[in-house]
A and B are shown apart, each in its own frame.
Chain A
Amino acid sequence: MSSVTPSIQVKVLFFGRLKEVAGGAEEFVELTPGSRIEELFASFVARRPELAPFRSSLVASRNQEFAAWSTPLQPGDEIAFLPPVSGG
């Protein structure tokens, strides 16, 4: 067998209104090593263009901490896309 393209797997969570637009709350995604949160979100937008308008009004988290869009992904990361919060 020739070499297989290496990949990393991350778990992705959607909440609130995003969960409805994304069509699910939780998904495992394979990405090329070195991918960033920005590219992960773009991969969802490629499949569901209706997610695109939410890019400017959501924040991402990596392993339960708010994270910048430029954050590189590591295998096993739990990434969540969070709409503006409205608890209280």
Chain B
Amino acid sequence: MSIPPSGDLILLVQNPIDAEALINHVRTGADGAIVTFDGCVRNQSHGRRTLYLDYEAYESMALAKMREIAAELHAKFRIDRAAIAHRLGRLEIGETSVFIAVSAPHRAAAFDACRFAIDTLKRSVPIWKKEYFEDGAVWADGELPPVPHDTQSRKRAS
């Protein structure tokens, strides 16, 4: 991964996520805490044994939404830097699919921001996973992102 020297870091990658590089990216002398979230591939889903997962994204929009999450972290929490990386393609059991690192002068903001980041990502970033089992494959159940309200559709009659 090529990593810019400062600011937040937002990545979609095909190869294994370099967690240490993300942690080092957010680490500065001004910080007293770094909180990380490592989302990894579980070996079962609803009791069915998972063989592997395949992730796909609407990449341009996913990157835009991940950047929005980082901006929101700065607006809501007293953090220093955020790094958010999601991997795409085929992932084996135990591999990291998403990694988030947040640095802050004090730990409370780093914990809160990291939790907010993963919760928001799972709800609003256009990424999908297909789960492969011994007897077939299914697209995982997901969350429907919040969308602006339809304001005009009701008034178009007559």
Show the binding face of A for B, using Cβ within 8 Å.
Answer: 13, 15-17, 36, 38, 57-61, 64-70, 80, 82-88
Is B3 at the interface (CB under 8 A from chain A)? no
Q: A83-B142, A86-B129 are in contact. List 12 more A-B contacts (CB 8 A).
A: A38-B153, A64-B58, A64-B61, A68-B151, A85-B122, A85-B123, A85-B145, A87-B62, A87-B86, A87-B125, A88-B39, A88-B86
In the complex, the chain B residue whose C-beta lies closest to that of A36 is B153
A87: which of B55, B147, B149, B152 is its contact (CB, 8 Å)? B55
Chain B: interface residue total (CB-CB under 8 A): 38
In the complex, the chain A residue whose C-beta lies closest to that of B88 is A87
A84: which of B121, B141, B151 is its contact (CB, 8 Å)? B141
Q: Which residues of A contact B140 (CB under 8 A)?
A: 86
Q: Is A68 a contact of B149 with CB atoms below 8 Å? A: yes
* Dominant SS among interface residues on chain A: mixed
Q: Which residues of A contact B39 (CB under 8 A)?
A: 88
In the complex, the chain B residue whose C-beta lies closest to that of A80 is B58
